[in-house]
Structure 1
Amino acid sequence: MDYVQQRVAQEAAKAEGASASSSFFTPLNIIVLLFVLYATYSFLRPTPPPALPKEEPAVVFKTFTPRTLLPYNGENNMPVYLAVKGRVFDVTRGRNFYGPGGPYANFAGRDASRGLAKGSFDEDMLTKDLDGPLDTLTDLNQEELEAMAGWEERFLEKYLVVGKLVAVGEEEKEE
C-alpha cells in the first residue's frame, strides 16, 4: 500500500500544479497581459516622419485683358480669378463663392469692381465690351468707392494677386 499511497500523492501533487498554472491563465490575466504588450509596443515603436504640407504651385504675375481674364471662371478645372481696381486676384480657394454655381459666380473671370462697389450682382454691372476700354469708375459716389476699397482690402488679406488688368492694346506697353 505504501507504493499506492505514494503514487496517489504524486498524482495529487501533479493535479495541484496543473490547477495552479491554469489559474494564471484566466481571462482577466490574459487581457492585462495583452494591454501591457500593446502599451510596450506603442511606446517603443518608431514614429513615422512628419508629413510636410504640399507647397502651392508658383503663380506667375501676368498682365490680363478683359478677354484673356474671361476663361478663369472656374469652369473646366480652370482657376477662379477676378479683378478689382485693376488687380487680378486668384480666388480659387473661395470657389464655393466665386466659382460656378456660387453667389458671386458672375464676377469670376471678370472685372468685379463696379458690382462690388454698388453691391449688385446684376449682369449689367459687368463690362460688356471685352475689347474696349476699362471701366474708369469715375461716376461712383464716395460711399460706393469706400465699399469697393473694403472689398479690395478683404481680397488683399485673403487671396494672392496674380496679375494686372489692362485694356486691349495696353498689354504690350506693360510688358
Structure 2
Amino acid sequence: MFEYIGWVVLAVLTLLAVKVFKDLNSSGVTVDENIPDVLEIQDFTPKTLAKYNGTDDKRILVAVRGKVYDVSGGKKYYGPDGPYAFMAGHDASRALAKHSFGNENLTPLDEPIDTLEGLNEEEWAALNQWIEFFASKYTFCGNLVNP
C-alpha cells in the first residue's frame, strides 16, 4: 500500500515539475540575433560541450541522456544568471532524474560520461519525462560522446 502511494506521489511531483518548467520556459524563449540560427549537428565531448554555457559562448547547450539540445532561447533560465545555469554546457541527466538542481549531480569534465548507474525506477521515470520535455521544446544539435 505504502509503495503504491509513493509511486503516485512521485508521479504527481514529476508531472508538476515538468509543467512548471514548461510554463516558465514557454514565456521565456527569446532570440539573440548574435547567435547563428542553426548549429551544425555534431558530436560533443563533455569538455567541448562546456564552452556552450552562455558565458564562454553565447549559445547555451544542455545534454540529457546523450542528446545535446540548444536551449539558447531560454537564456533567461539557462543563462549565467538563470536558475538553471548550472546545467549550461553540461550533461544534466542525473540532476534532472534526481530533481536535484545543483552542481553535486554533474559529472566533472575530466571523467567519462555518467552511465546513470544506480538510478531507481522513479528516477528513470522522471528522467524520461525530462527527455520528452527537452526533445519537444528545444533543437537537437548533437550527441554527447566520450573523448
TM-score by length of structure 2 reads 0.73
Map of 1:151 onto structure 2? 130
Runs of 4 or more above 2 Å deviation = 56-59
Conservation of the 8 A alpha-carbon contact between 1:131 and 1:167: no
Distance 1:95 1:163 in 2: 19
Q: Would you tell me which structure has more helix in proportion to its own residues?
A: 1
How far 1:122 sits from its partner (Å)?
2.2
How far 1:67 sits from its partner (Å)?
0.3
Q: CA RMSD in A?
A: 1.5
Larger Rg: 1
Higher relative contact order, chain-length normalized (CA < 8 Å, sep 6+)? 2
Q: 2:63 aligns with which of 83, 88, 95?
A: 83
Map of 1:32 onto structure 2? none
- Identity of aligned pairs, percent? 48
Residues 1:117 and 2:84 are matched in the alignment: no
Q: Which runs of 5+ in 1 are unaligned?
A: 1-53, 169-175
For 1:1-175, list aligned pairs within 5 A.
Answer: 57-128=37-108, 130-168=109-147
Q: Which runs of 5+ in 2 are unaligned?
A: 1-32
Helix, strand or coil at the partner of 2:140: strand
Specify the code of the residue in structure 2 equivalent to 1:98: Y
How many residues align? The count is 113
Conservation of the 8 A alpha-carbon contact between 1:71 and 1:78: no
Helix, strand or coil at the partner of 1:82: strand
Map of 1:26 onto structure 2? none
Map of 1:44 onto structure 2? none
